[in-house]
Amino acid sequence: MYTASVSADRRYQLQSEDANRRLDALLEQLRVPEASWPLYAEMLTTALKMFEDGTGVADLKIANAAFKEIRYGFKVFAPWRNVPKVTVFGSARTPREHPISEQAYAFGKRITRRARGASARLASTSACRSSRRRTPGSPPIPS
């Protein structure tokens, strides 16, 4: 167990010692590397603490969707791990013709043009295109 050096009163853990032991046993069985063990342990603990806290289904759905999207984002952008990236958050419900949508699209194009290196341009352009979904009846999205 890699948390041996952490005092028991400072360890981020579940209320049940048996559950904490089982979590450690799972990580050991999966052969999680020592360097990343504490991070996996905390992520799993956080998910299970939501159970202990009695987190409602709606909040669980939000947390689950966010975590899955973060994981997928890391996977998609892995080839450009060392290339700086910019993330712009917005709403898919904002109409394409809305001034805010047009401003966000223009910003994405400008930042893409200013990016250094072909891989940075490719990553930014791909992200911009994939995030601009067409709704039925909307005009084609320019490249």
Is residue 52 domain-shared with residue 100, that is, in the same domain? no
Average pLDDT over residues 36-52: 96
Domain check: are 84 and 44 in the same one? no
Average pLDDT over residues 12-32: 95
Whether 82 and 142 share a structural domain: yes
Query: In this structure, are residues 46 and 59 in contact, taking their beta carbons and an 8 Å threshold?
Result: no
**141 in the same domain as 88:** yes
User: What is the per-residue pLDDT for 52?
Assistant: 96
Q: How many domains does the chain have?
A: 2
pTM for this predicted structure? 0.59
Q: Quick check: is 70 in a domain? A: no
Please indicate, yes or no, whether residues 85 and 137 belong to a single structural domain of this protein.
Answer: yes
Three-class HEC string of 7-70: CCCCCCCCCCHHHHHHHHHHHHHCCCCCCCHHHHHHHHHHHHHHHHCCCCHHHHHHHHHHHHHH
One domain for residues 48 and 86? no
By residue range, what is the domain housing residue 39? 17-56
Does the pLDDT at position 122 exceed 70? no
